[in-house]
Structure 1
Amino acid sequence: MRFTLKDYQTEAVGKILTTLGYAREDWHNRQRRTAFALSSTTGSGKTVIAATVIEALLHGSDEFDVEPDPSAVVLWVSKDPALNAQTKSRFIECADRIPSGDLVLLDKTYSEESLSTGTVYFINPDKLGKKADFVKHTDTRHFTFWEILANTIKDEDKTLYMVLDEAHEGMKTQTSDEQTIVQKIISGDGVSPAVPIVWGISATVKRFDEAMARADAFTKEKNVVIHPQVVQDSGLLKNALTLDIPNEAGDFSTTMVRDATLDFVEVCETWDAYCGEQGIDPVVPLLVAQIPNKSAGERDTEKGRREEDETIHLVLETIRKHWPDMPADCVAHVLGDRATIEVGAYEIPKVAPQEVEHDHRIRVLLAKDAVSTGWDCPRAEVLVSLRSAHDDTYVTQLLGRMVRTPLAQETSVERLNTASCYLPYFDKETAKIVAEEIMGMRAPRSGERGAAINKVMLKPVKLQRNYDVPDEVFQLVRDLPSFRKPTAAPRPIKRLLKAAQALAQDELVANADRLAHEAMFSVLDNITEANSGEIDKQTKLIMTADIRRILVERGKYEATDSLDTRDSDAATVDDALRHLRSILTASVVNRYLGRNMQAAINEGVEAGDPTGVDITLIRARVAALAFIDVDVQKSVEDAADSLTRLWLTTNASDIARLPDSRKPSYEAIQNMAREPERDGVEIKTDERVDSVDTDMKPLPTEKKHLLSTSTGDYPLEQKMARNRWERATIQYEQSFGTLEGWYRNPSSAGRNSLRIAHKSGDTWKSVQPDFVFVHRTSEGLLPSIVDPHGVHLGDSGPKLKALAEYADEHGDRFDRIIAVGVEKDDALVGLDLKSSKIRRAVYEAQPDSDSIKQLYAAYGTNYTRIPEDI
């Protein structure tokens, strides 16, 4: 795999491989068929996850501890041949251990009796219709697709894994008993058998789940679900989406094309400046212009073609007028019913959708439906759609195409973390509902979210450093004790090796890889020396094998057995070494073996007998480390952890100055810690937020926030504006007259947040308290944490305990730490967590809602009244 996976992608790959492993056993041992799905939001990298899984399935993986499946045949089903071609290209790009010849676009030219093992086949249902050649016998092909599929399924030496891309497609409930082609592939038709394993992939798997629940032949396993927030936190998706929709009736198409073009020119200039500053390859933005479909009666008429050409010409002329540097050959189209289009002075070639991303000559793309389903082009920065759209599913799909980040990471320039959509004919009410669903402000009517976007903006404003707030306040907030939560499955050795690779690449630590391995080798040497007797004992056991011979003689009623001890061979020692590799990684064990072997050879040379080195004995002595009564893994991991922390700490300032392209590597390394590690709060200096709600009404504003508009105002985003507790908290803190600045702590656990890592059961979680207020007191500037969080919320108990523990450790840094959890008689009731008595009560209380309510009743005091105008 050429790409480094995000943590959530790695976790998903592991779960999918486990499910597929059990499914394979169930099929071959019990003829039990399995169905499950990967459910993940648009832009989460589902194809990369699938490529990693299939590569491991076909060729094995040390990272995921799986052996290759020699029986594997993969059938990838997608509704569109263009999507299959795009997926194949993506596999070639990222799965370097799958030969391109093993990725086959299946069609009527296939003439074998069955599908071959070790191969990924792509098919789309249109090739399997009743009149399609692929379902008929011909002179050159003696088997139909259905016979080829049946032969593959019936072959005991093969395991057919069917992957259904966009798994909601082809799974509709039929009005008659007739199956869709996708359903026939999955469940058979009474003649053709059902496939043994079905793995669906979609952002919306509800329809797939319902269909598989009705399929009696299958056992439905638990889906692998990726939460939208972890995708958003990963940097793969834009932070925000701007929707420009007219607030009144009228024809605004030319105006919107003009505005979209001006925005596009600005974003091109911004990307050029950013890439130059970062020293990275240029990002080449794309402007997408979506034109209307012709009506049913005009699709093949001269009048319909002429009107469409007039629309195209008007769009391009408007773009050229406001983009003077527009290259002559930068326009292409993906209109399925047109070849090369000639309008005015423009000659517009047709391209396949999957080619657009990598063809940087294309700067303006004309499209209809091709950009609304399955299309993947992260450099699409600005969209102008001249189509009317009232269907919320269509709108959601279209917006989902605009949210991927070109660099697969967040940038330090907020405009580049935002996509823009100009929608002159979109239904405003539908767009409002979709925007609120995407931001999580209302439950999706479909039951599932399509895209995961933190902000959808209708009238954005720019926030920058608020110069009404003293520098000391900014520094005080930056220096607050903030702690990252450890990863779910920490791997300190892998973390050190990744840190060594990154630090060496950035020339921050010379010979980092060698130093990292030597640090771990030193631990292994010390353990070997301190436990030499037990090492010798385990080495002897590894070097010999006990063979039990059982003899049954004719005429005798009982068998006799005897035990024979023989020397082990290299394969036996390899088995012992495999266990050590599983706990210390193959890199460490293999390098340690190499070093020990070279040392033994050098000693032999000095002694005049270089051929007398027993390589098998050396390997066995290293393997013995896995079987002695010492926790070798913990000792090596402790050393790895220590060196990683030292490197990250001593190089922190240099790491902070690295280009944005390098920062995700260190984010990933820091997130692999075993225990919470101290981190700073990185306050944004550039942010875009909305200034209106989804009804286009101005949002309320407040003063003295660390970030503000040029007039010193901070617009309260919609959730905060509608939250009486948060509004009351801000107004109360403002009323003191001593407030120097405040910070609305981001709710997601990122580098811009004050984070409090805490353990809930065996799982590490992160709490981000809502507000930090900095007041001028008799002791100087002091921060306060105020966290309005109702006791009725399911996480109120664990969150309250985490705040109490934080107050225990760091309370002396704060003026107040207040947890607000109850409203009584129009007043907010809070707990003063700087009180040791109250903290003790928090620790002793049960985490359920009723117990927390009793805690507030016994120890809570009025924090503030809620103003009547909120």
Structure 2
Amino acid sequence: MRFTLKDYQTTAVGTILTTLGYAREDWHNRERRTAFALSSTTGSGKTVIAATVIEALLHGSDEFDVEPDPSAVVLWVSKDPALNAQTKSRFIECADRIPSGDLVLLDKTYSEESLSTGTVYFINPDKLGKKADFVKHTDTRHFTFWEILANTIADEDKTLYMVLDEAHEGMKAQTSTEQTIVQKIINGNSVNPAVPIVWGISATVKRFDEAMARADAFTKEKNVVIHPQDVQDSGLLKNALTLDIPDEDGDFSTTMVRDATLDFVEVCRTWDAYCDEQGIDPVVPLLVAQIPNKGAGERDTEKGRREEDETIHLVLETIRKHWPDMPADCVAHVLGDRATVEVGAYEIPKVAPQDVEHDHRIRVLLAKDAVSTGWDCPRAEVLVSLRPAHDDTYVTQLLGRMVRTPLAQETSVERLNAASCYLPRFDKETAKVVAEEIMGMREPRSGVRGAAVNKVMLKPVALRRNHDVVDEVFQLVRALPSYQKPAVAPRPIKRILKAAQALAQDELVADADRLAHEAMFGVLDSITDANADDVEAQAKLIMTADIRRILVERGKDEATDSTDIRDADAATVDDALRHLKRVLTASVVNRYLGRNMQVAINEAFEGGDPTSVDITAIRARVAALAFIDSEVQKPVEDAADSLTRLWLTTKASEIANLPDSRRPTYEAIEDMAREPEQVPIEIKTDEQVDSVDTDRNPLPTEKKHLLSTPDGDYPLELKVAKNRWERATIKHEQSPGTLEGWYRNPSSAGKNSLRIAHKSGETWKSVQPDFVFVHSTNDGLLPSIVDPHGAHLGDSGPKLKALAEYADEHGDRFDRIIGVGVEKDGDLIGLDLRSAKIRRAVYEARPDSDSIKQLYADHGSKYTSIPESI
């Protein structure tokens, strides 16, 4: 796998591999069929997750501790051949251990009796219709698709894994008894049986779940679900979308095409400047113009075609007028019912949606419905939609295809972390619906969830550093102890090798790779010396093989057997080494072998007998480390972990000054930690937020926030504006007149947040307390943490415990650390966790809601009253 997975992706891959492993056993041992789904929002990297799983399935994985399945055959089913081609290309891009020849677009030219193991086949239902050649016998093909499928399923040496991409497609409940083609593949028909294993992939798996619940042949396993917040925190998606709609009735199409074009030109300039500053390949933005469908009575009529051409011509002329540098051949279309479009001086070629992202000649794309689903184009920065308001579902789905970040990471320029949508034919109510769907505040009417985005802005304002807040406050907040939660499956050795590569590439640590390996070799040498007798004994066992010979003589009732001891061959030693490589990685073991062999060769030359070196014996002694009684893995990982943390700590300032393009590499290294590690809090210097709610009413504002408008105002985001407790907290902290500045801590566990890593059971989680307030006190500037979080909420107990543990370690740096959890008679009740007595009570309390409520009743005190005006 060429890519470093995000934490949530690693978790999903591990869970899916486990589910598939059990499913394989159930099929071959009990003929029990299994179905489950991966459910995640658009932009979560579902294809990367799938590619990682399939690569491990076919070729094994040290990282996920799975052996290859030699029986595996993968059948990937999606609705569109273009999507299959796009998925195949994505597999080639990221799954480097799957040969491209093992990725096969299946069609009527396939003439084998069954599908081959070790291969991924892609098929779409249109190739399997009643009139399709692939379901018929021909002179060159003696087996139909259905027979090929049946033969594959019947072969005891094969395991067919069916992957259904966009799993909500083809799974609609039928009004008659006839199944869809997808359902025939899954459930079987008169020719083939049901497939053994079905893995669905979709942002919305409701239809899939319902269909599999009706399929008696299958056992439905628990779905693998990725939380939208994890995707939003990953940097793979844009932070925000801006919806621009008219404030009054009327046709503003031309005006908004103009505004969209001016915005697009500015975005192009911004990207050019950013890429030049960062020294990276240029990002080539795309402007998408969505035109209306023709009416039912206008399809394929001269009038309908003429009116559509007039719309296209008007759009392009408006764009050209306000984009003086517009290239002559930069326009293309994905209009399903048109070939090359000729309007005025424009000749507009038709392109496949999946080709748009990589064809940088295309700067303006004309579209209707073709790009609403199954299409990804991270460079799509601006959309202008001339569709009427009742087509809002199409716009919502299209925006779901535009939210990927071009660089798969957040940039330091806020405008480049957002996409813009101009909707001249929408009204306020429709824009409200669209905004709330995208932000996950309401269920989608289409039943299909697009990308979940934290912010949809209707009237954005820019926030910069608040000059009413002194520098000392910023410095104090940045320096607060913040701890990132460890990786789900930490691999310290892999981490140090990645860190060494990065630090050497950025010229921060000279010869880092050699230093990393030498640190681990030193530990292995010590273990070998300390366990010399055990190592030698295990090496001898590896170097010999017990061969059992069974003899049956004619006329005798019983066989006789004998055992010979023979020298093991290289393959036997390789098998033993494989155990150590799984523990310490192939890189470390191979380099350690090479080092030991070179030492032996040098010593032999010095002794005058270079032929005396026994390479196999050296390899066996190294392999023996995997079988001795002493622990090997942990000491090596400890050494790797210690050196990695030393490098990251001592080089922190230099790493912080690297270009944005290098940040994801070091963030990935930080994400691989096995224990909580302190990380800096990066306060944004540039942020865009909305100034109105979804009804376009002004949001309330407050003063003294670290970021503000030029007037010193901080618009409260919608969820804060609606939260009485949070509003009351802000008012209370401002009332003494000693407040010097405050920070609304982001709720996501990112680099801009104060994070508190804590363990809940066996799982590491991260708490982001809501507020940091800095007051002027007799002891100077002191921060306070205030976290309004209801005791009735399921995570209130673990969150309080995390705050208490944080106060245990760092309480002396704060004025107050308060958890607010109960409202009583209009008063908010809080626990000051700087009190050792209260922390002890928190540790002793049970984590259920009733116990936490009682904790507040026994130990809480009034924090503030909620003003009647809130």
What residue in structure 2 maps to residue 628 of structure 1? 628
Following superposition, the deviation at residue 726 of structure 1 comes to: 0.3
What residue in structure 2 maps to residue 210 of structure 1? 210
Quick one: distance in 2 between partners of 1:209 and 1:574?
A: 45
Which amino acid is the alignment partner of residue 608 of structure 2? Answer: G
Quick one: distance in 1 between partners of 2:104 and 2:407?
A: 29
What residue in structure 2 maps to residue 41 of structure 1? 41
What residue in structure 1 maps to residue 57 of structure 2? 57
Following superposition, the deviation at residue 65 of structure 1 comes to: 3.5
Following superposition, the deviation at residue 669 of structure 1 comes to: 0.8
Matching of residue 825 in structure 1 with residue 825 in structure 2 = yes
2:749 match: secondary structure: coil
Contact 2:240 2:455 in 1 (8 A): yes
Quick one: distance in 1 between partners of 2:568 and 2:190?
A: 54
What residue in structure 2 maps to residue 362 of structure 1? 362
Quick one: distance in 2 between partners of 1:817 and 1:72?
A: 55
Following superposition, the deviation at residue 846 of structure 1 comes to: 1.3
Matching of residue 238 in structure 1 with residue 238 in structure 2 = yes
For structure 2, the 5+ residue unaligned runs are none
Please say which of residues 506-515 and 560-569 is displaced more in the overlay.
Answer: 560-569
What residue in structure 2 maps to residue 667 of structure 1? 667
What residue in structure 2 maps to residue 850 of structure 1? 850
1:142 match: secondary structure: coil
Contact 1:807 1:833 in 2 (8 A): yes
Identity of aligned residues (%): 88
2:519 match: secondary structure: helix
Tell me the alpha carbon deviations over residues 390-410 of structure 1, each in whole angstroms, 9 at most, x when there is no partner: 367544322211100000111
What residue in structure 2 maps to residue 378 of structure 1? 378
Which amino acid is the alignment partner of residue 512 of structure 1? Answer: A
Quick one: distance in 1 between partners of 2:130 and 2:538?
A: 67
Quick one: distance in 1 between partners of 2:714 and 2:301?
A: 55
Task: Normalising by structure 1, report the TM-score.
Answer: 0.97
Please say which of residues 653-662 and 131-140 is displaced more in the overlay.
Answer: 131-140
Contact 1:102 1:119 in 2 (8 A): yes
Following superposition, the deviation at residue 459 of structure 1 comes to: 0.8
Which amino acid is the alignment partner of residue 397 of structure 1? Answer: Q
Tell me the alpha carbon deviations over residues 798-829 of structure 1, each in whole angstroms, 9 at most, x when there is no partner: 11111111111111111111111111110111
2:472 match: secondary structure: helix
Following superposition, the deviation at residue 103 of structure 1 comes to: 2.7
Contact 1:27 1:196 in 2 (8 A): yes
Quick one: distance in 2 between partners of 1:846 and 1:156?
A: 52
Change (3 A) 1:449 1:796: farther
What residue in structure 2 maps to residue 787 of structure 1? 787
Change (3 A) 1:465 1:67: same
Contact 1:232 1:452 in 2 (8 A): yes
What residue in structure 1 maps to residue 727 of structure 2? 727
Following superposition, the deviation at residue 196 of structure 1 comes to: 2.0
Quick one: distance in 1 between partners of 2:116 and 2:553?
A: 46
What residue in structure 2 maps to residue 691 of structure 1? 691
1:365 match: secondary structure: strand
What residue in structure 1 maps to residue 702 of structure 2? 702
Task: Normalising by structure 2, report the TM-score.
Answer: 0.97
1:661 match: secondary structure: helix
Following superposition, the deviation at residue 259 of structure 1 comes to: 1.3
Quick one: distance in 2 between partners of 1:392 and 1:847?
A: 44
1:765 match: secondary structure: strand
What residue in structure 1 maps to residue 284 of structure 2? 284
Following superposition, the deviation at residue 383 of structure 1 comes to: 0.7
What residue in structure 1 maps to residue 770 of structure 2? 770
Change (3 A) 1:360 1:609: same
Quick one: distance in 1 between partners of 2:574 and 2:109?
A: 45
Contact 2:147 2:191 in 1 (8 A): no
Following superposition, the deviation at residue 560 of structure 1 comes to: 6.0
What residue in structure 1 maps to residue 682 of structure 2? 682
Following superposition, the deviation at residue 619 of structure 1 comes to: 1.4
Following superposition, the deviation at residue 556 of structure 1 comes to: 7.0
Following superposition, the deviation at residue 445 of structure 1 comes to: 6.7
Quick one: distance in 2 between partners of 1:600 and 1:19?
A: 47
Matching of residue 471 in structure 1 with residue 471 in structure 2 = yes
Contact 2:238 2:417 in 1 (8 A): yes
Change (3 A) 1:802 1:64: closer
Quick one: distance in 1 between partners of 2:713 and 2:523?
A: 57
What residue in structure 1 maps to residue 715 of structure 2? 715
2:233 match: secondary structure: helix
Alignment of 1:624-663 (within 5 A): 624-663=624-663
Tell me the alpha carbon deviations over residues 731-787 of structure 1, each in whole angstroms, 9 at most, x when there is no partner: 011111010100000111111111111111221111111111101111111111111
What residue in structure 2 maps to residue 18 of structure 1? 18
What residue in structure 2 maps to residue 541 of structure 1? 541
Which amino acid is the alignment partner of residue 493 of structure 1? Answer: I
Following superposition, the deviation at residue 444 of structure 1 comes to: 5.8
Please say which of residues 90-99 and 588-597 is displaced more in the overlay.
Answer: 90-99
Which amino acid is the alignment partner of residue 639 of structure 2? Answer: A
Which amino acid is the alignment partner of residue 599 of structure 1? Answer: V
Tell me the alpha carbon deviations over residues 450-469 of structure 1, each in whole angstroms, 9 at most, x when there is no partner: 32211111111101100000
Change (3 A) 1:63 1:26: same
What residue in structure 1 maps to residue 492 of structure 2? 492
Please say which of residues 277-286 and 132-141 is displaced more in the overlay.
Answer: 132-141
Which amino acid is the alignment partner of residue 214 of structure 1? Answer: R
What residue in structure 1 maps to residue 619 of structure 2? 619
Following superposition, the deviation at residue 388 of structure 1 comes to: 2.3
Change (3 A) 1:442 1:294: closer
CA RMSD in angstroms comes to: 1.9
Quick one: distance in 1 between partners of 2:156 and 2:674?
A: 45
Quick one: distance in 2 between partners of 1:850 and 1:133?
A: 66
Change (3 A) 1:546 1:850: same
What residue in structure 2 maps to residue 756 of structure 1? 756
Which amino acid is the alignment partner of residue 161 of structure 1? Answer: Y
Following superposition, the deviation at residue 192 of structure 1 comes to: 2.2
Quick one: distance in 2 between partners of 1:768 and 1:445?
A: 33
Contact 1:389 1:395 in 2 (8 A): no
Tell me the alpha carbon deviations over residues 113-163 of structure 1, each in whole angstroms, 9 at most, x when there is no partner: 333333322222122222223222334433322223223322333332222
What residue in structure 2 maps to residue 220 of structure 1? 220
Please say which of residues 658-667 and 546-555 is displaced more in the overlay.
Answer: 546-555
Contact 1:391 1:430 in 2 (8 A): no
Following superposition, the deviation at residue 520 of structure 1 comes to: 0.2
1:594 match: secondary structure: helix
What residue in structure 2 maps to residue 28 of structure 1? 28
Tell me the alpha carbon deviations over residues 411-468 of structure 1, each in whole angstroms, 9 at most, x when there is no partner: 0111000011112234643442342243243466788743221111111110110000
Contact 2:428 2:695 in 1 (8 A): no
Change (3 A) 1:556 1:142: closer
2:297 match: secondary structure: helix
Quick one: distance in 2 between partners of 1:854 and 1:448?
A: 42
1:452 match: secondary structure: coil
* Count of aligned pairs: 870
Contact 2:728 2:864 in 1 (8 A): yes
Alignment of 1:552-563 (within 5 A): none
Following superposition, the deviation at residue 304 of structure 1 comes to: 0.8
Contact 1:388 1:427 in 2 (8 A): no
1:390 match: secondary structure: helix
What residue in structure 2 maps to residue 170 of structure 1? 170
2:89 match: secondary structure: helix
1:775 match: secondary structure: strand
Which amino acid is the alignment partner of residue 398 of structure 2? Answer: L
Which amino acid is the alignment partner of residue 435 of structure 1? Answer: A
Following superposition, the deviation at residue 2 of structure 1 comes to: 2.8
For structure 1, the 5+ residue unaligned runs are none
Quick one: distance in 2 between partners of 1:633 and 1:119?
A: 35
Contact 1:390 1:427 in 2 (8 A): no
What residue in structure 2 maps to residue 80 of structure 1? 80
Matching of residue 580 in structure 1 with residue 580 in structure 2 = yes
Contact 1:32 1:219 in 2 (8 A): yes
Please say which of residues 231-240 and 55-64 is displaced more in the overlay.
Answer: 55-64
What residue in structure 2 maps to residue 591 of structure 1? 591
Quick one: distance in 2 between partners of 1:659 and 1:597?
A: 41
Contact 2:111 2:140 in 1 (8 A): yes
Quick one: distance in 2 between partners of 1:799 and 1:805?
A: 10
Which amino acid is the alignment partner of residue 165 of structure 2? Answer: D
Which amino acid is the alignment partner of residue 861 of structure 1? Answer: S
Quick one: distance in 2 between partners of 1:323 and 1:596?
A: 65
Quick one: distance in 2 between partners of 1:308 and 1:407?
A: 35
Which amino acid is the alignment partner of residue 517 of structure 2? Answer: H
Tell me the alpha carbon deviations over residues 631-678 of structure 1, each in whole angstroms, 9 at most, x when there is no partner: 211111111011001111111111001111111111111121121111
